[in-house]
Structure 1
């Protein structure tokens, strides 16, 4: 699938995983462990798990209203998951060069790599 395509096109590309729409943290860990294990065994590549997002009806409501989920429902479990993943991405070493998706997120959120995120 997708991981195999990324590895085939760019062996230097860091692969990061977000497990989406899971009912529990246990299920998310099971899925992430399986994907990272299979990727290491068969593709000889490391996959870093950034976290997971809980399945919630609130996500579908925000999609229908075409408004950001973390804005409409900031106290939800899925918003907490998204904030955690964002903080991990922004705090990663790849965020330091200011390019790519990391640079885009820094500019969008007004956060520099030398400033604390403060989400957790």
Structure 2
């Protein structure tokens, strides 16, 4: 009881210190196997390095692997929140650099088939988080289902992770088309992962940008390029995020640059107080419409 009161007091103090509210970011990919979760994790860690408060939600249905990439085992997951009716703060785990994250757990597919009561519970708990963090990041599953789409298009921004591989590019294009057909004003950024070189990666990203602009009449933000670096596979095997395993590795330097530029470009977003209804109200409306 005393511990709960102390935790509640600390959260109120955190909120009073900063009037800012979290920006919700959905990180997606058109297909699996492009390194999306690894990018989400290491990008989150680099945002922390920029002195931002970050909460990473693992919502990769059936493939949740943030725990595995961190070499940790969460005590509670988002599934437990509903099964045991837990406060959201009880399922938030702490990783390296103080990263706050929520594990997917097992049977996460149930999350996308919530009844009305549990949906309302999730949203009411989510509202407790938006005044504590600068960024709340959803690591979504590959592709988009009608269920997960609601969360994606309710987000403030979407980051698409792809690779120069033709099938990955095609699927990423399909994902962006699907998102824009449901929300034409969605801000979309793209990260080109596993590029053979900076030059080839930039060319692939430029071409992709042109195709999206030509055929979807939409401007996407070219967020950055990550090299095909053996450090990544070593980090996965050792279950240590690559930015922590070797901060001087090409891929670590690249994701640091992406995070640094991202924060600089969006600094105004965090200075201006967000309406608390932004993500929550949009998601409520989408759930009503379904």
TM range (shorter): 0.7 to 0.9
**1:56 aligned to 204, 226, 229, which one?**
229
Deviations 1:24-45 (A, max 9, x none): 1111111111111001100000
1:85 aligns with 2:248: no
**1:19 aligned to 189, 192, 206, which one?**
192
Q: CA RMSD in A?
A: 1.6
- For residue 34 of structure 1, what is the aligned residue in structure 2? 207
CA distance in 2, matches of 1:63, 1:10: 35
| Unaligned 5+ runs, structure 2 | 1-173, 275-290
CA distance in 1, matches of 2:206, 2:252: 23
1:43 aligns with 2:254: no
1:10 aligns with 2:183: yes
**TM-score (normalised: structure 1):** 0.76
- The CA deviation at 1:92 is 2.4
Larger Rg: 2
Deviations 1:10-58 (A, max 9, x none): 1111110110001111111111111110011000000111111011111
| Unaligned 5+ runs, structure 1 | 100-120
5 Å matches for 1:99-110?
none
SS of corresponding position for 2:213: helix
Larger RCO (alpha carbons 8 Å, 6+ apart): 2
- The CA deviation at 1:95 is 4.2
- For residue 242 of structure 2, what is the aligned residue in structure 1? 69
Q: Is the 8 A contact 1:89 1:95 kept in 2?
A: no
- Structure 1 stretches (4+) deviating beyond 6 angstroms? none
SS of corresponding position for 1:11: coil
SS of corresponding position for 2:209: helix
SS of corresponding position for 1:75: coil
- The CA deviation at 1:98 is 7.2
CA distance in 2, matches of 1:56, 1:37: 27
